[in-house]
Chain A
Amino acid sequence: MIRRLLSGTIYFLSGIIGVLAFTYPFLLPTLNRLGAGSSSALSAAAHQSDAPLLTFIMLVLCLGVLLIEIQGQAVSAKVVAALGILVAITAVLRFLEVAIPGPGGFSLIFAPLIIAGYVFGARFGFLMGTMSMLVSALVTGNVGPWLPYQMFAAGWVGLSAGWLPRVAGSKRQIAMLAAFSFIWGLLFGAIMNLYFWPFISGADGLGWEPGIGIGESVRRYFGFYLATSVIWDLGRSFGNAVLIVVLGMPTVRALSRFRDRFEFKVT
């Protein structure tokens, strides 16, 4: 009981830190304004330079803690082996993607990630998202400060796929997964843009007018997203949905068969 409570606390705190790490550029003008009244508060300019670094450190620590916690709960020999092989397959798909670029931000890795999360559950989906990003960055030489953000965002894709309801009928199932992957195609781009948003906009919103509120910051980001990224991300969304419609059903069936074999236990 205590362990479950502690585990829940770790998931809850990790969730807050993950969301905060992406959305803090929207909060900074407000935080700076609220803090300005305190005599010991640092100036906004001092925070402008260290906010991305502090948030990055917090995100890396949080990712480490979360992985330790999930590792302690979800990992058996079969899970380790299945994850390893599926991650290898997504890494090869990322190689293919470099060789044969698709439209806009289209990527081959989201469809398998969503299907694996849906079939094997939320924890497996989260691990598959984080590990796929890590391994494909290692093998394609794309390690950088963006990696923890990519790992978190891809982890959320797999995690949320595990939360999808189990619907009856294969056509409805595929329609649901295709719609889900379409939404994530746009959402992934929108939240990954946030990683460099502080550098474009100025960490405390100085790039904009100082002192604007959360609502106004979000509205401006939305304008930026529509102007710069939405067409690129639509390529990813349509690509994901088409891949799931064409290859989704046989993949779900094949993985479900293996799920039954993986879950087999002698009692």
Chain B
Amino acid sequence: MTTETMTRPASSKRIEALDDVTVRFAGDSGDGMQLAGTQFTRGTLIFGNDVSTFPDFPAEIRAPAGTLAGVSGFQVRFSSHDVHTPGDAVDTLVAFNPAALKVNMSDVKDGGMIIVNEDAFDKGRLKQAGFTDSPLEDGTLSKYRVFRVPVNKLTREALKDSGLGAKDVDRCKNFFALGLVYWLYGRPMDTTIKWIEDKFGKNPALAEANKSVLKAGYFYGETCEVFTSSYQVDRAHLVPGKYRRISGNEAVSLGFIAAGQLSGKDVFYGSYPITPASDILHTLARYKNYRVKTFQAEDEIAAVASAIGASFAGDISVTGTSGPGLALKAEAIGLAVMTELPLVIVDVQRGGPSTGLPTKTEQADLFQACYGRNGECPVCVIAANSPADCFSCAIEAVRIATKFMTPVILLTDGYIANGEEPWAIPDIKTLPRIEIKHPTARSDGSAFHPYERDEHLARPWALPGTPGLEHRIGGLEKQDITGNVSYDPENHQRMIHLRAKKIASIALDVPEQKVMGPEKGDLLVIGWGGTMGAIRSAVERVQKQGYQVAAANVRYLNPFPRNLGQVLSNYKKVLVPELNMGQLRMLLRANYLVDALGYNKIKGKPFLISELELRIKEVLEGKN
């Protein structure tokens, strides 16, 4: 990248400086809002801001056009300092139709900017969105700065000589809005122009059209008298190094590929398509030259069962799903517990129960991950806290699974799976090697004991194909050491304790719980998973106001970090914000007899920093 591309094109208008901006693109599912949002994110990242994104789309692929159900949105927050969430309130909303306006306007700050595609505000669409009068005329939007832009008309105008059909022309209109927003925030368009050239390289007419519309949007901002000023958000002071834009699903996929390379083994990924986890399958399927086998199974059960089979045969085995799929996999995970085979299960959580809210985020599968199986069936459970964090969590899950011969459930959620942020690309030399030893062939006729344990209580991973180690495993209770079927009562109790002890001992192998903030104080705000950004930001705000409050994000959920009880006891109060009814809170209460308070939101949306800040202050002021 040359420095020229960083320079803002000369503008004749006033430029106001801002340090933190949230933009949301909203329209029909077919309007290309996700694309506009992603493109804006790329341009902004490369410009040098810290960025956090939140795509929000309906479960229906194409709900009827113009309806509230069909509204799709993409929110981008960019800043000159580091950000941990995609933003609470929206500074600039781009609304492509009345329904998008209706669904999103309440999230816009007072005095914020709303850019509407005026051409979509006809009688029919207004009625579809439930407006009796046009909100553009009746004062509904009086507290916002509204900019009416005839996007359809201007797009058609820009392409009148392009030779494209009306349908193709109209499909370019998201790029008009993108161009306008690029101008508004002084972003260079180079990344999008290059993307258009790569994407439509084989169809120069379409490439040219998209570029023209993008530029038309940009120059519309520059020349149209409605926009009196544009805005400048300086580059963030990110730690020097090479960065990559990454989503949680991409990061988790790269983590598994890395784990395969770090252990020198093939990776087997068995999965069945499910929102919001399918992108992991899509990503891994592309990297077959990295010794990755992807298997799209006939159902969730076959997905996990095939992974168990592949694990028995010696692959690093992973299955990915969301909550409903985890429910279906439960029995097979129990089999992996009984047969003590390494297996990683990724659960990209979404709103439940049942089919619930497939495209919305929630963190209500913690109990299911910890306890959703028959019998005493402990597994290791860990959770990633941001899109980029998914990379190291995937490697960690494989490390634990293979070292302790156990299933590991890795919890992410729709919010961090689809959200993107800049990722400081790690030096591969700093990544942990994953040492795996398989017992070798024996020819002396000595008995092989598949349930003899090492110092970590892990049994040997003896691979079919190894002479002299022939053995049988299965779901029936195992006799200690020999692994033969055993119905002996004493043995059953011993094995239950052994399996539990093995999982508990993982706590000795993972880092202690850390806190952000004072080590002792009035309040600890403790959460897990993708709420970390919001909790941390809210706690930082309250700390600045002089309160003795700290934040913690629990990555290791079973077993808990060995010092967690001590950490909890260092604060007068403990508050557990969760996007569920209080699952971690209940576990903390049960394990540590701590009178933890909750803050629980189950709306399919992530926390706002402001609402957490409010609750934290309430608790500090004695309102439990």
Partners in one complex: no
